[in-house]
Amino acid sequence: MTNLDAPHLTAVVLAGGKGSRLMPHTAETPKPLVEIAGRPVVEYLLAGLKKAGVRKVIMAVNHMADQIESRLGDGSRYNIDISYSREPKPLSTVGPLTLIPDLPENFIVANGDILTDLDIASLYRMHLERSAELTVATYEGTEKIDYGVLEIDPDGRVAAFAEKPDYSFIVSMGIYVFNRSVLELAPRNEPYGFDRLMLDMLRLQRDVYAYPYGGFWLDVGRPADYERAQSDAARLRGLL
């Protein structure tokens, strides 16, 4: 396993999506470059990776790739080495990783549109300690259901009722640590997403671990999330 104290940790940032859910903000701008509090959202992620000891970032790009490459360049302004891997066609979230040669034994993968103060170094360390093949940073969310919710028994009787209950759930934060062996499951030259990877790994009883996190996390995927992020500029400055 790779030593956490190695001088260069590697991260792949997934930045090839069209950001359709974030329209109209993504009509002429790729989602990683949409500005939050005056900075492209991906810059907050790059700052977090740098704090974790990452010195090499590979941007997996497709949609509006020229804009991303022009804005981020070689990473010198961030004191990170940035390179680019272009998808010839959209390959979903895991497929792009198969195009990148010479990935280290363990590497970080992150969606290019997330805001978080997650301790990425701690995530990486736990992955190594458990000799995991895949570690998923997770977040427990709560959503209020705006309806009366009934519980029905097998005979059709109402067994329980709750008026507008809170529903708790655990979600992937969009940041992971991969062992290179995981990529053996991904077909070449066709879309392969994180959903399929998880189902395949569970079916094959491969080692997947969760890294629960309760701090700040926001996936800037929808206009409502974008507006929420814009209103929290003070917190965002702390990420840089």
Phi, psi (deg, nearest 5) at residue 31: -55, -40
Compute the distance between CA of residue 162 and CA of residue 74 in angstroms, rounded to an integer.
54
129 to 2, 4, 35, 80, 110: CA distances (angstroms): 11, 10, 37, 26, 20
Range list of H helices, the chain: 41-51, 65-72, 120-129, 194-203, 223-230, 233-237
CB contact set of 218 (below 8 Å; sequence gap of 6+): 114, 115, 116, 225, 228, 229
Look up residue 232 and give its two tokens: 């929290």
96 Cβ partners below 8 Å, 6+ apart?
12, 14, 16, 60, 62, 85, 87
Residues designated as active site: 164
State the amino acid at position 69 in one-letter form. E
Beta strand 114-116 with 81-86 is unpaired
